[in-house]
Structure 1
C-alpha cells in the first residue's frame, strides 16, 4: 500500500501552490493569493469570523439555575459535558496529526485554526463545570468516559479509527479517518447538543446553551472542511474512489448512529422533559443520512429525510447568529416551537 508522506518544512524547488492534497510538492510558504482550492480562503475567513472565548459568556444565571434542575437533568448535564470534553480532546490531537500529511499550506492553515478552536471548545467545558460544581465533582465528570460502558463503547468506535490512521498512515487509512472525523463532529455531538437546546427552550441554563451554539457553529465549518478534503482526495486519487469506500461511508455512519442511539437512551431515556426517545432516534438517523451524503455515501437509513426535532435552535447557515454574537454575548433564547423552528441543521 502506498505510503503517506509527511510534509516538508520547506522546499525551495517546489511551487507555493501545492501539486497535490497529499504526497504532492509545495514550498510550504502560504500565500493566500496563490492557493489551489477556491473554497479555502472563504472558509478561513468564516472560521476567523466565528472567533469567541468562553470568558465572554456570563454564567451567573446558570449558577443560580443549576441546583433547580431535576436530578436526571443534572446527571445528563454533567455526563454530556464529560463526553464532549473527551471528543474535543481526541479531535485536537487527530487534527494536528492529520495536518502533517497535507501538502497544501492553505489546508494546513485551516487545520491549525480548527485545532485551536477545538482547544477553546474543550476549555469551555471546564469553564462551565467550574462555574457550577466543586472541583472534586468537576474531576469526576472528566473521568466518566473511562468507566461508563455505553460511553466507552461509543468513544472507542471513533478512537480506534483514528488510531488505525496514526499507527499506519496511508492514503486509505487517512480517507477512513476523515469518515470517523465527520462522525465525531457531525453526529456524535448532536444528541448532546439537543439536550442543551431543550433546556434553553425551557429558559434553563441559557448561558451554557449559548456556548454550545457557538461550538455547534464551529463544528459545522469543521465538517465542511473535512468533507471538502475528502472529496479532493477522491478527485486527485481515483484509486480511492471505489464502491468499497463509498460503502464504508454508509456502513460507518450506520454503526455510529446505532451507538449514538444507544447512548441517547442510556443518558436521556424518557427521563428528560421535552425529549422523546422516538424523535431522538429519528433525529440521529436523519443526521447520519445527512453526513453520509456530504461524503458521497448512500443514506444508511433510507426514508429519514427531515429533522423531526424542529425546535432545535441550531443553524445551517453558520453566519445566522453573527450579529447576535457580537452585539449581545449573553443571548436570551425565545421559546422555540414547531412553527418557528428549523427543519435542517
Structure 2
C-alpha cells in the first residue's frame, strides 16, 4: 500500500480546500470559509467553547477530604490518576503525528487544538496530585504505568497500535491507529471516570470530579473528530471499505473491552457498593458498542444498547446549560448537544 505523504508547508499550485483528506493537495493556507468538510468549523467552535484550565478549580476542600478517604478509595484514586496521566501523555504525541499527514489545513488546526487540550488534561492530573500528596508520592504515581502489570498490559495495547502507524505510515495503519485512538479516548477513560463520579455522588472529592467532567467533555469532541476522519478516509480509499477493516474494528474493540474489564475488576472490583461490578462490566460493553457504531461499523456485542449506569448521566451530561453542576457557578462554555452526535445508542 502507498505510503502517507506529509503535508507541505505551502503549495502555490494547490487549492486552499484539500483535494483529499490524506495524500491530497492543499495550499495549507487556512481559510475557515473555504474548507472541505462542513463539520470542521462547528467542531472548532465547540472545542474553543470548551476552553478551561485547572487553575480555575479550588482544590482546598478535596485536599482535606482526601485524608478521610478509605485506603481502598485512596489507592484507586491514585492508580486511576496514574493511568490517565499516561494515556493523555501519549495522546498528545500521537495527535501531532496524525496532524503531519492530514492534507486539509482545517483538520490540522483541529488536531492542534486537540493536542493543546491533551496537554491541559495532563497538567490537570499534576495539579490534582500536587494538591493532595507530597512531591515524592506524586512522582511515584506517575511511574505506576511502568511497573503495574495490569496497567501496563492495557497501556501497551494502545501504544503498540499507535507505534505501528508511526513506524509505517500508510492509509491502512493510519486508519487502524484511529481505532486505538477511539478506544483510548472513548472507552479506556470511562471506568476511571465512573469512579470519580461515584465519589462525587457521595459528596467526596467534588473539585476533582468537576475537572474530570471537563476532561470528559473534551474527550467526547475528540472522539467525534477522529470518528469523522475515520469515515472520510474509508470513503476516499476503496480498498479500506471492505469487511477486513470492519472485522478489525470489532475484534480490536472486543479485546479492548476485555482489558478494560480486567482493569475494572482490578481497580474497582467489589470494593465500592455504589459501583456494582456487573453494572460496570455491562457499561464497558455498552460504551464499546457506542464507539464502534460511531465509526460506522456493526456493534460487536449483542444487546448492550442502553446505559446500565444511568446515574452517571447526571455527572457526564454535557447539556446542563451554563451552570456547572458541581460548583454552581456561571460558565460560558459551549455544551455538546444531541445535534453533535453524543446521544445514547
TM-score greater than 0.5 by the shorter chain:
yes
Residues 344 and 185 of structure 1: is their aligned pair in 2 closer, same or farther, counting only changes over 3 Å? same
1:28 is matched with 28
Secondary structure of 1:312 counterpart: helix
2:78 is matched with 78
Alpha-carbon deviation of 1:98?
0.6
Give, in whole Å, the separation in 2 of the partners of 1:328 and 1:250.
41
* Paired residues of 1:213 and 1:314 also in contact (CA < 8 A): no
Give, in whole Å, the separation in 1 of the partners of 2:63 and 2:326.
23
* Paired residues of 2:3 and 2:170 also in contact (CA < 8 A): yes
Q: TM-score, normalised by structure 2?
A: 0.94
* Paired residues of 1:58 and 1:330 also in contact (CA < 8 A): no
Residues 327 and 303 of structure 1: is their aligned pair in 2 closer, same or farther, counting only changes over 3 Å? closer
* Paired residues of 1:53 and 1:120 also in contact (CA < 8 A): yes
Deviates more, 1:313-322 or 1:49-58: 313-322
Give, in whole Å, the separation in 2 of the partners of 1:255 and 1:343.
24
After the TM superposition, which parts of structure 1 deviate over 3 Å for at least 4 consecutive aligned residues? 313-323, 325-331, 342-345
Give, in whole Å, the separation in 2 of the partners of 1:253 and 1:102.
25
Give, in whole Å, the separation in 2 of the partners of 1:47 and 1:326.
21
Give, in whole Å, the separation in 2 of the partners of 1:92 and 1:181.
11
* Paired residues of 1:217 and 1:315 also in contact (CA < 8 A): no
Structural mapping, 1:143-292, within 5 Å: 143-292=143-292
Structure 2, gaps ≥5 residues long: 332-341
Residues 218 and 132 of structure 1: is their aligned pair in 2 closer, same or farther, counting only changes over 3 Å? same
* Paired residues of 2:290 and 2:344 also in contact (CA < 8 A): no
Deviates more, 1:288-297 or 1:124-133: 288-297
1:337 is matched with none
Report the RMSD for the aligned CA atoms in angstroms.
1.9
Alpha-carbon deviation of 1:269?
1.0
Residues 5 and 317 of structure 1: is their aligned pair in 2 closer, same or farther, counting only changes over 3 Å? farther
Alpha-carbon deviation of 1:313?
4.0
Give, in whole Å, the separation in 2 of the partners of 1:315 and 1:68.
23
* Paired residues of 1:306 and 1:343 also in contact (CA < 8 A): no
Secondary structure of 2:324 counterpart: helix
Give, in whole Å, the separation in 1 of the partners of 2:12 and 2:319.
39
Residues 152 and 314 of structure 1: is their aligned pair in 2 closer, same or farther, counting only changes over 3 Å? farther
Structure 1, gaps ≥5 residues long: 332-341
Give, in whole Å, the separation in 2 of the partners of 1:208 and 1:294.
29
2:119 is matched with 119
Q: TM-score, normalised by structure 1?
A: 0.94
- Say whether residues 1:41 and 2:41 are aligned partners: yes
Residues 316 and 294 of structure 1: is their aligned pair in 2 closer, same or farther, counting only changes over 3 Å? farther
Between Structure 1 and Structure 2, how many residues are aligned? Answer: 335
Give, in whole Å, the separation in 1 of the partners of 2:268 and 2:137.
20
Alpha-carbon deviation of 1:300?
1.6
Secondary structure of 2:290 counterpart: helix
Deviations 1:206-253 (A, max 9, x none): 000000000000000000000000010011112111111011111111
Give, in whole Å, the separation in 2 of the partners of 1:115 and 1:271.
35
* Paired residues of 2:196 and 2:212 also in contact (CA < 8 A): yes
Alpha-carbon deviation of 1:115?
0.2
Alpha-carbon deviation of 1:37?
0.4
